[in-house]
Each structure stands twice: as C-alpha cells, then as structure tokens.
C-alpha cells in the first residue's frame, strides 16, 4: 500500500513540474534506474529470499535411521527437538522456546544429514544454506539476505501448511565469527547482528515455529553472543565414530551393494580408526568400483582392504624405483613391521612397498581397541616404530636415506607430546616456559633412548629383515599373518 501511495505522489509531482515547464527528463531517468534496481532485487533475486538460488529445500527425506555411528548425538538432538513437537506443553510450563541448535565436530561426520533428519522427525520445512553465501563486498547485502531467509522459511511453511520450519546454516563460523576480527570489513559484523536480531524475534506463539540449526568445524571461532542462552540453546557434539559406529556406517553404505561371503565388515571397522562417515562411504564406494573394474559380480574382502588404502593414501602410482631403491624401501618397511609386531603383537595388518600418494611404501597397523588416552609407554612405542625404518637401513645397508624424513618429523612430534603432557622426566611444565634449547634437549633424549631400544631389537633379527625384504620385492605386499609366521620360524630356529 505504501509503495502505491509513494508512486502516485511521485507521478503527481512530475506532472506538476512538467506543466510548469521544468525539464523532467533527469527525474524520469532516476525513476527508471530506481525501478530497475527494485526489479533486480525483488524480482530477479539479486538479494532474494533464496540467497541467489543457492538455498534449497529438502526433496528426499532423511530419517535418523539412515545415520549410523552417532547414537549419542542423535539422542541429544531428539531430546532438543521435543521442544518443537510438544510446543503446547512447553508453553503451558512457561519454558522459553528453543531457538537454535549447534552441531559441532570434524568434517564428514554427518552434521548436514542430522539436520535433514531433524526436519523429517519434526515434520518441518527444511531450508539449507552456507555461511559464506551471506558475505558480499557491499554493505547491507548479508543483513538483507538473513532477513529474507527467515521470511522465506515462514512463507514455505505456510504454502506447505506446516507449523514448523528448520533453517540449516553450514559453515556457521563464516557468518558468525567473532565481531571485530574483520577490522577492514564491517559487512561481517552487520550480517551477524542481523542474525542475532532475527533469532531474538523468534517467539513460541508465532504461526510458524522456526528452529535454526548451525553446523561448524570450528566452534572456537564463533562470537560469544551466538552461544549464549536464548540463541543457540543446545550444542551437540558430532564426533568421529567409534568401532561399533564405524561398523554401523559400513553396513548402511553396503546395504545396496553385493558383498561376497568373505567380506568381513568388522575387520574393516577395526582397520579404519579415525575415519569419518564420509571416509567410510568412500571406502564402500571405492570397493564397489574396484570390483566393477575387475568385472567381479561381488565385492570381496580384498576390494574393501584395497579401498581402505586408497581412501587413506590415494591411488597407486605408476612410478617404479630402481632395484637398489626398491630393496632399500623393502628393508625400511621391514624395520617398521618387525618392530611394530614385536612391541605390539598382532598389530600389523599388512606391509607393502606399493607407492601411493606421497608414500613410497607403508606398514599399516590396527589398534586392538580404539585409543583416546595415551600413556608414556604407548607414545614411546610409537616413536620406536617410527624410527625402526631408519635403524633397519643402517643395520642392513650401512646408511640411511631421505625416506625417513616423515618418520623423524612424527617422532619429534610425539616426543613433544610426551614433554608437554607432563610425562617426561621434566615433570609438569608449561610449554611456553621452555626454551627451544630445553625442548630440543628433552626431545632428543627421548628419541635417542628409543633408537637404542630399536637397535637392540633388530640387531639379532637381521635375517628376518632380509627375508621379509626379499618377499616384499618379489610380491610387493605381505600380510600381517605371514609376518607373524616368519617371526615364529625365526624364533624356533634360534
């Protein structure tokens, strides 16, 4: 109504000026430019409610049953969603409405899937966008997009005759970063301020209930105003899955794939400590691709094991080292494998000198159980295993190579963990109170002790190292079981 009145007044003024003999051409040009700007903004979506067409509504419903390995996070999320489902009881009890949920955790753990499942669970309209889509170089653009996003959520809910709407904002740290951290660009702060205002305006008795779900990998970067009660009232941690969780995820992603009788998903779950749900989906997919490439009708265990290696390290490379380099590489990996098996029995899964990614060869170990706390003994054992490749080269070949560079870096990192965790002979210390010389001396002492330990382990087993290296050169890959049989034969012979 106001727009029509304003247009009528403007037209009347122009007619009056024209009758008085005033040239109204400049005014007509300005009016045309203003109409064009309005048309671009409101009709063509330059600042439209669809955020440039990149926001979307969910067309394929996802339920919590489709998400594996996140039982704890799902229970927390369902408990929070009860505020939406039981809104009448919540209002009768005088409880403040739930306005926001924050899902935080590493990439690939299923935060977006959980938000979509929340929309299905609550029978709500689902809109999704990313924090980066709100930030532009022009002041006020992001704030306008935030307003339009909330209006769009209400409009869609009314059109679909639903009482609830869920707005999902991925990469929330881009939109909701701490104010003042972008000193040269106030657009970030204005956009965040508008989001805070919109969330403050959400009421329990509104026609459409709106819940904002944010997802982030870096909760530490968020502005404190977002995390206070009344904004994002609940924070749900979506962590990497444990072994049972990984098994559940693998079962979900292989449900539509033909598995051979020998395919053991429990073994794969043990082998994939530290994998996210996205990694595990990729393992299942790569295994199916390998089977298809070989024209095999079912996915066998070897395909799954190969897929784990590919996801972890990359595709096999075509480069072929010279025979001398290949034997040195085999000795290096034999050192890792023998030391790993002696210090942590039955831990070696397989040893290979096949090049993948940046690795010329590798020894894969599987933990008996998922480990979240580390003792000094465990860390020292890991340092010893890292150093074993270089020690084996020295004992058998008389010299070392640059292939040990990454092993040394990892050894130094682990030694620093021992020191900063208060597990070294220095006792409990603050890292900032240690000079570089003190840190170097303490870490060197730890590494030298472990190098001596590895030398004493491998010195009487040179024959095993050489036999294992010859097998690796011939076959490229040795299983953990074959390694254990070789060590048993050597023990009997001695």
Side-chain-facing half-sphere of 389: CA atoms under 13 Å: 26
Structure tokens at 491: 């023990």
What does DSSP say about strands 348-352 and 232-237: parallel, antiparallel, or unpaired? unpaired
CA distance 79 to 88: 16
**CB neighbours (10 Å) of residue 187?**
18
HEC profile of 323-352: HHHHHHHHHHHHHHHHHHHHHCCCCEEEEE
C-alpha–C-alpha distance, residues 77 and 101, integer Å: 8
Considering the candidates 171, 281, 333, 450, report the single residue annotated as catalytic: 333
In a 13 Å sphere around the CA of 367, the CA atoms on its Cβ side amount to 14
Q: Can you spell out the DSSP letters for 365-427?
A: E--SS---S--HHHHHHHHHHHHHHHHHHHHHHSS--GGGHHHHHHHHHHHHHHHHTT-STT-
**Three-state DSSP class for 59?**
coil
Dist. CA 193–CA 146, nearest whole Å: 10
Distances (CA, A) of 240 to 79, 106, 244, 280, 352: 21, 7, 11, 11, 27
In this structure, what are the phi and psi dihedrals at residue 356, rounded to the nearest 5 degrees?
Answer: -140, 130
Structure-block tokens of residue 53: 């067409």
> Would you call 333 a catalytic residue per the annotation?
yes
Distance between CA atoms of residues 140 and 191, nearest Å: 7
What is the DSSP secondary-structure string of 106-128? Answer: STTSSHHHHHHHHHHHHT-EEEE
The answer to whether the beta carbons of residues 131 and 149 sit under 8 Å apart is no
Residue partners of 106: CB distance under 8 A and separation at least 6:
217, 239, 240, 276
- How many angstroms separate the first and last alpha carbons of the chain? 98
| Catalytic center residues | 333
């Amino acid at each position: 109504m106001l727009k029509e009145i304003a247009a009528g007044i403007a037209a009347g003024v122009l007619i009056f000026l024209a009758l008085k003999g005033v040239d109204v051409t400049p005014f007509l040009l300005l009016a045309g430019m203003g109409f064009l700007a309005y048309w671009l903004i409101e009709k063509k979506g330059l600042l439209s409610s669809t955020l440039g067409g990149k926001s979307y509504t969910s067309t394929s419903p996802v339920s919590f049953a489709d998400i594996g390995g996140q039982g704890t996070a799902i229970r927390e999320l369902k408990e929070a969603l009860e505020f939406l489902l039981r809104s009448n009881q919540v209002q009768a009890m005088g409880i403040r409405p739930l306005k926001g949920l924050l899902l935080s955790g590493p990439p690939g753990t299923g935060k977006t899937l959980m938000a979509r499942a929340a929309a299905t669970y609550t029978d709500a309209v689902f809109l999704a966008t990313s924090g980066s889509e709100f930030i532009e170089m022009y002041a006020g653009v992001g704030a306008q997009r935030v307003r339009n996003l909330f209006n769009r959520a209400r409009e869609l809910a009314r059109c679909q005759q639903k009482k609830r709407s869920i707005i999902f904002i991925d990469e929330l740290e881009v939109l909701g970063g701490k104010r003042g951290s972008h000193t040269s660009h106030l657009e970030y702060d204005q956009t965040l301020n508008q989001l805070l205002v919109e969330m403050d305006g959400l009421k329990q008795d509104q026609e459409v209930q709106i819940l904002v779900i944010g997802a982030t990998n870096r909760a530490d970067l968020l502005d404190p105003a977002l995390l206070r009660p009344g904004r994002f009232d609940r924070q749900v941690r979506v962590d990497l899955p444990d072994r049972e969780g990984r098994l559940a995820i693998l079962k979900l992603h292989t449900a539509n794939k033909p598995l051979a009788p020998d395919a053991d998903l429990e073994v794969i779950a043990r082998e994939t400590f530290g994998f996210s749900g996205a990694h595990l989906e990729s393992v299942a997919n790569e295994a199916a691709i390998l089977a298809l490439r070989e024209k095999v009708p079912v996915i066998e265990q070897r395909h799954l094991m190969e897929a784990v290696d590919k996801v972890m390290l990359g595709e096999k490379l075509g480069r072929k080292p010279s025979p001398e380099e290949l034997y040195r590489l085999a000795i290096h990996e034999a050192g890792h494998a023998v030391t790993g098996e002696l210090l942590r029995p039955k831990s070696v899964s397989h040893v290979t000198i096949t090049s993948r990614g940046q690795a010329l060869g590798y020894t894969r170990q599987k933990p008996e159980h998922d480990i979240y706390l580390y003792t000094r003994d465990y860390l020292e054992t890991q340092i010893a295993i890292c150093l074993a490749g270089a020690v084996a080269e020295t004992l058998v070949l008389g010299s070392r190579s640059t292939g040990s560079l990454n092993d040394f870096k990892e050894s130094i990192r682990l030694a620093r963990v021992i020191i900063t965790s208060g597990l070294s002979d220095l006792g409990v210390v603050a890292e900032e109170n240690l000079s570089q010389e003190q840190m170097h001396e303490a870490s060197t002492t730890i590494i030298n002790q472990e190098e001596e330990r590895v030398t004493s382990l491998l010195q009487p087993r040179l024959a095993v190292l050489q036999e294992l290296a010859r097998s690796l050169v011939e076959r490229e890959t040795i299983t953990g079981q074959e390694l254990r049989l070789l060590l048993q034969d050597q023990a009997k012979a001695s």
